[in-house]
Amino acid sequence: MKKIRWGIVGLGNIAKKFAADLSLVPDCVLQAVASSDALRAEQFAQKHKAQKAYSNYDQLFSDPEVDLVYIASLHPKHADLTIRALAGGKGVLCEKPLGMNSAEVDQMVSQASQANLFLMEGLWTRFNPSFNQVKKWIDEGQIGALRYIHASFSFNGLAKGKDSRLFHPDKGGGSLLDIGIYPLFLAYYFLGIPGEIDAKAHLTEEGVDAQLSSILSYPKAQAMLYSSFIHDQYMGATLCGEKGEIYMYSRWHEATQVKLVKQGEEQIKSFEFSGLGYTYEIEEANRCFNANETQSEKWTWQNSIDLSRLMDAIRAQVGVNYTADTLLPNRKKFNKS
């Protein structure tokens, strides 16, 4: 079978990790890379053995030798770059969050649907073996009806400063979109869309969430979620059912160990990651591309739309607004009544 030819645009921190993992996945190659900085593109291409280096994203999007594009730029660029890549006839794996808000995600999905091209949000945790083990235990009914999820994601990013992508509003700063998306994903994946959300945040002077807590209420369950850029912590996740519990060890979103506790007995499963763990989402994108599937059944377009709507709702409650939100229709409907 012909190798799938990948392109990467936005050659920063995550792009380096992704490119290293891409080299571990069979049947695909890094064909081209593009950066706003020509030297960065050249050096990246050399290090990761890409055939071509572009200093213009659109040249990569129109390169007939590229099949799939990985968008690794800052959140506010995701929608525009994805739409341009799709317009160039490329399938797209775009970093999380897929868009700044649900209006952007709707546009991206609509473009992929019209063009009949692959689009997936790079929510890599969904494809990791430890997450699949947790899903298996829950699907088997090992812990019975799920009643409680507790998950958090935080690290101390203060030293990066207010101009960094973590804190600057124009760079999509704020903990929810960057890391709070993972706890929200866990609750949404296993419990669905909550009936109510109660969110509280401490905002920076620039108006982004430095620290954010949400309680998601379901008819018979609750989820307590937390994200922050101002301190480190042990980052485990807990899922409790009527018959047992599951613990995902720190850092749970990339856990290599998970534990089932049931009737006083413990079962621990450990997994060796292939690379840093981005290999699994790459394999899924490759599988979809080869099967002519425009979306992954493991993390669908609707899943990304739902997640973005939940983030819109949480942001509306705590008062975090971005320039992209002018596109959001009926923003008030997300406010707490």
Active site residues: 96
Task: State the Cα–Cα distance between residues 133 and 120, nearest whole angstrom.
Answer: 22
Query: Contact, 10 vs 77, CB < 8 A?
Result: yes
Binding residue for ligand NAP (CB under 6 A) from 40, 147, 251, 331? 40
Q: Spell out the SS3 assignment of 213-247.
A: EEEEEECCEEEEEEEECECCCCCCEEEEECCEEEE
User: Applying CB under 6 A, which part among 36-44, 144-152, 206-214, 284-292 lies near ligand NAP?
Assistant: 36-44
Per-residue contact flags (x/-) with ligand NAP for residues 13 to 32, judged by CB under 6 A: xx------------------
95 binds ligand NAP (CB under 6 A): yes
260 binds ligand NAP (CB under 6 A): no
35 binds ligand NAP (CB under 6 A): yes
User: Applying CB under 6 A, which part among 19-27, 33-41, 289-297, 302-310 lies near ligand NAP?
Assistant: 33-41
Binding residue for ligand NAP (CB under 6 A) from 5, 84, 90, 96? 96
State the minimum distance, in angstroms, from the CB of residue 96 to ligand NAP.
Answer: 6
Binding residue for ligand NAP (CB under 6 A) from 12, 141, 144, 161? 12
Helix axes 301-318, 102-115, angle to 10 degrees: 160
Task: State the Cα–Cα distance between residues 312 and 326, nearest whole angstrom.
Answer: 12
User: Hey, is 107 helix, strand or coil?
Assistant: helix
Binding residue for ligand NAP (CB under 6 A) from 165, 259, 298, 315? 165
Per-residue contact flags (x/-) with ligand NAP for residues 166 to 195, judged by CB under 6 A: -----x------x-----------------
What single-letter amino acid sits at 195? G
**Cβ nearer to ligand NAP, comparing 14 with 221:** 14
157 binds ligand NAP (CB under 6 A): no
User: Applying CB under 6 A, which part among 6-14, 20-28, 266-274, 308-316 lies near ligand NAP?
Assistant: 6-14
10 binds ligand NAP (CB under 6 A): yes
Name the CA radius of gyration of the chain, rounded.
20
State the minimum distance, in angstroms, from the CB of residue 269 to ligand NAP.
Answer: 22
73 binds ligand NAP (CB under 6 A): yes
State the minimum distance, in angstroms, from the CB of residue 333 to ligand NAP.
Answer: 26
CA end-to-end span of the chain? 56
| Whole-number Cα distances in Å, 70 to 163, 270, 282 | 25, 29, 10
CA angle 183, 279, 116 (to 5 degrees): 85
What token pair was written down for 305? 């739309």
User: Applying CB under 6 A, which part among 22-30, 68-76, 128-136, 257-265 lies near ligand NAP?
Assistant: 68-76
Report how many residues bind ligand NAP under the rule CB under 6 A. 21
* Beta bridge mates, 6: 30, 68
Task: State the Cα–Cα distance between residues 202 and 170, nearest whole angstrom.
Answer: 18
What single-letter amino acid sits at 240? C
Query: Contact, 66 vs 53, CB < 8 A?
Result: no
Residue 336 CB neighbour total at 10 angstroms: 11
121 binds ligand NAP (CB under 6 A): no
**Cβ nearer to ligand NAP, comparing 148 with 273:** 273
Binding residue for ligand NAP (CB under 6 A) from 122, 129, 194, 244? 122
User: Applying CB under 6 A, which part among 34-42, 244-252, 257-265, 313-321 lies near ligand NAP?
Assistant: 34-42
What token pair was written down for 39? 């030297």
Count of alpha carbons within 13 Å of 102, Cβ hemisphere only? Answer: 19
The widest CA-to-CA distance across the chain, in whole angstroms, is 60
- Which residues contact ligand NAP (rule: CB under 6 A)? 10-14, 35-37, 40, 72-75, 77, 95-96, 122, 124, 165, 171, 178
